[in-house]
Amino acid sequence: MKPAPESCEPELPRHGSLFYAGRVALLGTCACTLILVSFQPSFRLSDIFQKFTLSLVYSCSIVFPAALLLIRMGRESLASGRVVGLVPRVFVLMGANVAGCLFAGIVLILLGFYPAARYWAEFRFSILFSTVFTLVIGLSVSLYREMQVRLERATLELRTRQMEEERARKLAAEARLSSLESRIHPHFLFNTLNSISALIPKDPKRAEEMVGKLASLLRFSLNANQTGLVPLGQELQTVRDYLEIEKARFDTRLRYSIDVPEDAESIGVPPLSVESLVENCVKHVIARRPEGGEIRVRASLDGDCLALEVSDDGPGFSLDRIPAGHGLDNLAGRLALLFGGEARLEAVRNGRYASVRVTLPRNV
């Protein structure tokens, strides 16, 4: 699953956050203007403009520094997974309030609203008046905004997880369908039925066993859980059924061995994962060579990992050259979705054997 962006604004750039702060500053400006004007028994249009300008200077001087600091705190808190407490928010808002009032006083003196001699008197009045506004509006907006961003992030993560689960189901369904198609392929059925027919007069018991194995193979292909895991022992039984059916066809051209420790048979693996690797060996090595070949299935436990290895004595191949949609490409996608980075699919060479190794975490 891809992680959500480590940002206080998962879907908005920084200038979007500042635009949001600008709207808060405008809201605070209008509120301050209304309050200041309401204290006067009578007022003119010029008085409203003057109060609005004063409020705008103070609001911009306080809101933007506070917004930048709170945005940074919010991003760091989301990245670390913790929630910013009330005390740090109050500390940031009060610091921005003091610095903003000092800066706004200088700006208003430069604009000629009052003389420099009145700087500290205006500062004392403005700091008392703006503290209440800064705390009430700042805490309300910052808490609301952070909860909104956390909700957006949770929604994004949920949507991403749903998409990944849907993709996993699709890949599993494709693997099951691909396996089923190979089972019911006319050549496969014809060869299997022909082999069974040839066995009936000379070895009817084995012919009956082949029919049972074919039925078991088709049933497993149909009933394999789309997104879950099956015990390795059950998967290996399917592999044995498939190999015995193909051995009836290739006879001595197909030689195989399965070496899996008993305590590994309860570990969960993706359905038809080992079988698809064995089928790949039969198609590309055994069926193409007059002398046939050997297939080996091995499993080993290494700490918290299960290593599965399917080998043949063919020429081998590179996973980088596997086309999209191939059975091995499909298997790699399923492993990534089911186990993330904990699972690996590798093509290796051990002496005269070319192997495909699957490493995945134990899931007993």
- Bigger pLDDT: 177 or 172? 172
- Bigger pLDDT: 173 or 118? 118
pLDDT at 252 over 80: yes
pLDDT the model gives residue 5: 39
- Backbone conformation region of residue 7, classed left if phi is above 0, alpha if psi is from -120 to 50, else beta: beta
What is 184-361's CATH number, 3.50.50.60, 3.90.1200.10, 3.40.50.300, 3.30.565.10? 3.30.565.10
Of 62, 65, 51, the closest CA to residue 133 belongs to 62
| pLDDT tens digits, 305-339 | 899 999 999 888 777 777 666 667 777 877 877 78
> Cα–Cα distance between 364 and 357 in angstroms, integer?
20
pLDDT the model gives residue 295: 94
**9 pLDDT tier (thresholds 50, 70, 90):** very low
pLDDT the model gives residue 204: 86
Query: What does pLDDT average to over the chain?
Result: 77
Q: At 293, give phi and psi (nearest 5°).
A: 180, -175
Residues 49-56: what's their mean pLDDT? 77
pLDDT the model gives residue 182: 52
Residue keyed to tokens 């305590």: 263
> Cα–Cα distance between 247 and 229 in angstroms, integer?
28
For 227, which DSSP code?
S
**67 pLDDT tier (thresholds 50, 70, 90):** confident
The pTM of the full predicted model, rounded to 2 decimals, is 0.50
Residues 157-179: what's their mean pLDDT? 72
pLDDT at 186 over 80: no
- Bigger pLDDT: 181 or 19? 19
- Bigger pLDDT: 298 or 135? 298
DSSP 150-186: HHHHHHHHHHHHHHHHHHHHHHHHHHHHHHHHHHS-H
pLDDT the model gives residue 309: 93
Cα dihedral 111/114/116/120 (nearest 10) = -120
pLDDT at 27 over 90: no
pLDDT the model gives residue 174: 63
pLDDT the model gives residue 194: 77
Q: Across 118-122, 131-135, 184-188, 327-331, which has the greatest mean pLDDT?
A: 118-122
- The residue ranges of every structural domain in the chain are 14-163, 184-361
- Bigger pLDDT: 322 or 122? 122
pLDDT at 223 over 90: no
